[in-house]
Structure formats: C-alpha cells, structure tokens
Amino acid sequence: MTTHRLLLLNGPNLNLLGTREPEIYGTETLADVERITAEAAASRGFVVRAVQSNHEGVLLDAIHAAREDCDGIVINPAGLTHTSVVLRDALLGVALPVAEVHISDVQQREEFRRHSYVADVAIVHVIGEGVRGYATATERLIDIIAGQAEG
C-alpha cells in the first residue's frame, strides 16, 4: 500500500507562533499548526512530514527531499515569501503541487508583504484564515492531487 504524504513547510520565525505578535498571528503555536494539518491530511488518508526552519538552506533541502516521497507541499514561507527567488525555484524544480498559506492577510499589511515569489508556483492560496487556514489549504491540495478539483 502506498503512503500518500505531504510536506508541511514553515519558514522563519514561525517557531515563535503563540508568543510572536499575537494580535496579528494569534495565540496558537507551531505545534497546533502541525496538529491541525496532520488531522486534515489524515482524514483524507495522507500523512504529513513537518519541517520548520529559520534557515533558508534547510527549507530548500526539505523541498528537494520531498520529490522522493511526497505528493505535494503545504508551505508558509513566512518572510521568505517576499524575498526568496531560490525558494520559488526549488518549488518549481521539484514539480510537486504547492499550497501557499499565510496566517494573516498579507494584502492588508505593509506594502512589501503584498508580493509573493511563491504565488505563481502555488495552485492553492489560503490567506488570512489564521492557523485554521492550514487545514483549508491541506484539504484543497489533496482534492487537486486526488483529481477531485482543478488547480
């Protein structure tokens, strides 16, 4: 039996969820994000490998490894959303379907946050739904992978 797997990738500073700017990001933690995502995936027969790092190279290595055993990637690139061409290139390079998640509504924040290098690579975008957005993104991505929706 084949295991269907998603890579859940969280970028810089998301390890501080729950304490970092709770007025913007809420009080739920990275552990909550990982649990919410794993539960959404499990309800559809998928497992999740979760990686969070404050180091871009670690995130790139996780993306590269995903091509070997993952069916898709759920990513919150955090601050790298607005700065990292290499993260975008890695996502393109592995040719897996991608769901981009942002806890806050980046379109309503500072001007520099309104550009995403990941946006044109991702087939699912969930922005401003808080940590529950991870479940939404996971479910939509699995629908696309399973052929039940178009990306």
Catalytic residue flag (residue 64): no
Q: Among the options 25, 117, 125, 134, which is catalytic?
A: 25
Left (φ > 0), alpha (ψ -120 to 50) or beta: where does 147 sit?
Answer: left
Contact 7, 97 (CB under 8 A): no
Which residues, in sequence order, are CB contacts of 75 under 8 Å at separation 6+?
7, 8, 9, 10, 11, 91, 98, 99, 100, 101, 118, 122
Q: Is 89 annotated as a binding residue?
A: yes
Residue 134 annotated as catalytic: no
Binding residue per annotation — 76? yes
Dihedral sign (CA 136, 140, 145, 148): positive
Q: Which of 102, 115, 125, 134 is catalytic?
A: 102
For residue 39, give the 3-state DSSP assignment. helix
Is 120 annotated to bind ligand? no
Q: Is 35 annotated as a binding residue?
A: no
Task: List the binding residues.
Answer: 76, 82, 89, 103-104, 113
Task: List the binding residues for substrate.
Answer: 76, 82, 89, 103-104, 113
Residues annotated catalytic, as ranges:
25, 102
